[in-house]
Structure 1
Amino acid sequence: MTAALGGCGVTGGSGDVTLRLVAADYGDSAANSSQKYWDKLVKEYESKHSGVKIDVTVYSWNDVDRKVKEMVDAGKAPDMAQIGAYADYAAKDELYTADDLLSISTQADFASQLATAGQVKGVQYGMPFAASTRLLFYNKTLFANAGLTPPKTWKQLAADAAALKARGVKYPYALPLGPEEAQAETMQWMLSGGGGYTDTVGSYGIDSAQNVATFDWLKDDLVGKGLTGPVAPGNLNRAAAFSAFAKGEVGMLNGHPSLMKIAAKKGVKFGMVPMPGSGGRSSTSMGVADWMMAFKKNGHAQQVGDFLDFVYDEKNVLDFSREYDLLPVTNSASEVMSSDERDADLKPFLDELPQSELYPVGKTSWAAVSAAVKKRIGQAVGANGSPAATLSQLQATASTAESAD
């Protein structure tokens, strides 16, 4: 009913319709490229919908957001884009709302915090497509050799790191605050200290007392004591930290599901626990989502909505999540995954999802804030760094970007 109403007046009448989708590649080789996933899905859909063709182009994560922006700027927006951020397009009124497109049952099936993260001013434009959470990975062999148990508090984490350092471990705790993905490690630590990028009413609170205390602790109790390895955190990227973990050189680090495969391939025995907090296990985990959106420019709301209802069918969501070690964005697929033996590896991450917090992706200012965090946050824990000064600078950047919205 919703999809049919959304389509009124914009479907362009009868006849064949070709919908263009630009999507990101989650594969790590040609063998498991996302193009293969979409080709199979589209073939099945088209076999049941003779008047609709779906043309899918897949780009690497390095290029996909830029490619979509170039297409939109040139007046050639695709019908759908599956990329990293939606808020800029929503702010310019270029997107359909979820209400315009999806059946009520599809909308109701989205995990609630993911659906909320897809909203701008209470209206959902971003449809979650893939989700992930983070856990603390630890090297079981290094821990056993040092007689350690996985930490539940920051104090225990620092003590474990000191014991690992004494045994010659290269990176007792790997702290990747380099420009690749520093915004993730930063948020994980902020949350574990009771803070975050935003406050309880959604305003930026980067320089809050909790966040300053968190980075003071990181600077003084981890980095300052030589417990984060030979590369300064501001120069250590996530990919390099993951690679070092797979070589057995890291005692502990924050990781997402793809690290399981990377480490297992190299024969590293690892365990995973929730992120330690300042006084006990952190009550909030970091969640990440990628987004599907539909542009209004070409119309075809009814056909787009019908195709997306198919995309979000339980079977298709499960197929995608299992292929790429990601978490389902729907409740129905999550319930299946929670109880299915073949998904046991992902269950610890799935358990974290309900209490996870996502980046403030509904803010058009987030892209600028994220870029500033990647560039500067490493300075906060450097030898001559000042957490209070760095976080204050980032808050000023956030306030400026927010007022420019």
Structure 2
Amino acid sequence: MQRRYLSLAAVGLAATMTLTLTGCGSGSGGNDVTLKLIAADYGDSKANSSQHYWDDLVRAFEEQNPGIKVDVSVYSWTDVDKKVEDLVDAGKAPDMAQIGAYADYAAHGKLYTADDLLSIPVQADFTPSLAEPGEYQRLQYGMPFGASTRRLFYNKKLFAQAGITNPPQNWDDIVSDAQALKAHGVKIPFALPLGPEETQAETLEWMLAGGGGYTDNIGKYTINSKENVKTFEWLQKELVGKGLTGADPAKLNRGDAFAGFADGDVGMLNGHPTLMKQAEAKGIDYGTVELPGANGKAKATMGVTDWMMAFKQNGHRAQIGKFLDFVYSEKNVLKFSADYNLLPVTTSASQAMLADDRFSKLHGFLNQLPTAQFYPANKTSWPLVSKTVKSRMGATVGPQGNPSAVLTDIQNTADTADNATE
């Protein structure tokens, strides 16, 4: 989730995993191979770092494959994409990376396809709505790893104190509920994190709620569509302009908004599954509903997935494939999802989660996954567009903001970048 559940997930840390794969033959030593894997850490502390998940998984893999060893090391989300980029630029690409974007590496011919690596049953098990964004020029290079969708979280205690009996179903409800919360002294009636941490996510959530999005159904950027302009004009006038966001959205980061909700200072916000654990740890009684839209439920929710990819530079295709088949087994996908409050990326693990009452609070998020809409991660222009959104969108909803002009500027940037890569 950058998505980051921006993510994506918890507080946005990252793990670099170094994989030492030692040939998949008899283990005689002559075919020993060392593979490097750099990947993201989804924990929010050393105690629940993804390091523990991978150490356990590697231990089980090595027991079944005595000729293969895996050595894991961990980096933060802040550094992980840059770490991979630096290694690739230095001619020292890792064999595998589990990070936020894959398309640029695919475009430069540096990656194996999923067809090259995975057994047919494993590849076919990916949830279709997650596998498709992993395709570049109709070939799958990005293998989904960890997913989330978005729902609106609300504080039940604060709602009750303000006399609100039902969660919001549309934008008018959001405004009236936020006004009631403000009247009862709630510090931040509706948290709108458009600060630099994960602006691209909050932006897409609101675009979808307003009937728009970053792209149309054939992948063309539609950033300055009339739907998107109308959405941000509404935010500027109805939420920010009426003092219902409590703080300057341009200065509010996602992590701070989540922390505020967990502290009981936020009445409502858009959130992903990892917020549940954060809120529960502070004793917050919360509810979730599908994202409200302009005239009812949003047409779709935002989905986020991170990507596993494999570089061709060092070879080792067979060994990488054997390990990834193990990584994507139902048992391991379900355990990772359970450990970090994320959604499974395979059909088999999703069905197992839906059938298990232990995960009932995730079921609402999971049921939205097949129709969720994702970042255009298969476009090599997306990293630049995402960076531009992060730097520009926060001020758009402020008193001096001009949504139409800003969205058109970003559209022009996107079109220029898109044309340059064609």
Instruction: Write the deviation string for residues 100-136 of structure 1: whole angstroms up to 9, x where unpaired.
Output: 0101111110010110010111110000011011110
How far did 1:31 drift? 1.6
1:3 corresponding residue in structure 2: none
1:51 maps onto 2:70 in alignment: no
**Partner residue of 1:121?**
137
Q: 1:228 aligns with which of 234, 245, 268?
A: 245
The worse-fitting range, judged by mean Cα deviation, of 354-363 and 19-28 is 19-28
Question: 1:137-178 CA distances to partner (integer Å, 9 max, x unpaired)?
Answer: 001001111221101111111111111111111111110111
Alignment: residue pair count:
393
Say if 1:25 and 1:33, in contact at 8 Å, map to a contact too. Answer: yes
- Written as runs of structure 1 = structure 2, the 5 A alignment for 1:28-177 is 28-148=44-164, 149-177=166-194
Unaligned runs of 5+ in 1: 1-6, 8-12
Q: In structure 1, give the amino acid aligned to 2:311.
A: F
Matched AA of 2:394: G
**Residue 283, structure 1, aligned to residue 296, structure 2:** no
> Which residue identity is paired with 2:186?
V
| Alignment partner, residue 197 of structure 2 | 180
8 Å Cα contact 1:191/1:285 also seen in 2: yes
Length-normalised TM-score, structure 2: 0.91
Runs of at least 5 residues in structure 2 that lack an aligned partner in the other structure: 1-22, 24-28
Q: Is the 8 A contact 1:94 1:295 kept in 2?
A: yes
Q: Deviations over 1:308-349 (max 9, x none)?
A: 011000000011111111100000000000110111121111
- Find the residue that maps to 1:358 and give its secondary structure: coil
Deviates more, 1:91-100 or 1:235-244: 235-244
Verify the 8 A CA contact 1:178 1:236 in the aligned structure 2. Answer: yes
Aligned equivalent of 1:191, options 186, 194, 208: 208
Give the CA RMSD over aligned residues.
Answer: 1.3
Alignment partners' CA distance in 2, 1:47 and 1:240: 42
Match of 1:254 in 2: 270
Describe the superposition over 1:328-376 as per-residue Cα deviations: whole angstroms up to 9, x where unpaired: 0000000000110111121111111111001000011111101111100
Distance 1:226 1:185 in 2: 19
Report the Cα offset of residue 56 of structure 1.
2.4
- Structure 2 counterpart of 1:327, which letter? L
Distance 1:95 1:151 in 2: 45
Which residue identity does 1:199 align to in structure 2?
A: D
Pick from 219, 232, 238 the counterpart of residue 215 of structure 1: 232
The residue aligned with 1:308 is 324
User: Equivalents in 2 of 1:381, 1:246: separation in Å?
Assistant: 25
For residue 381 of structure 1, report the CA deviation from its aligned partner: 0.7
| 1:17 and 2:33 matched | yes
Q: Which residue of 2 aligns with 1:10?
A: none
Residue 14 of structure 1, CA deviation: 6.2
Is the 1:317–1:333 contact (alpha carbons within 8 Å) kept by the matching residues of 2? yes
Q: Which runs of 4+ in 1 moved over 6 A?
A: none
Match of 1:340 in 2: 356
SS in 1 for 2:38: strand
Normalized per residue, the structure richer in strand is 1
- Secondary structure of the residue aligned to 1:168 is coil
SS in 1 for 2:202: helix
SS in 2 for 1:172: strand
Distance in 2, Cα, partners of 1:262 & 1:133? 17
Q: TM-score, normalised by structure 1?
A: 0.95
1:402 is the counterpart of 2:412: no
The correspondence of residues 322-341 of structure 1 with structure 2, limited to 5 A, is: 322-341=338-357
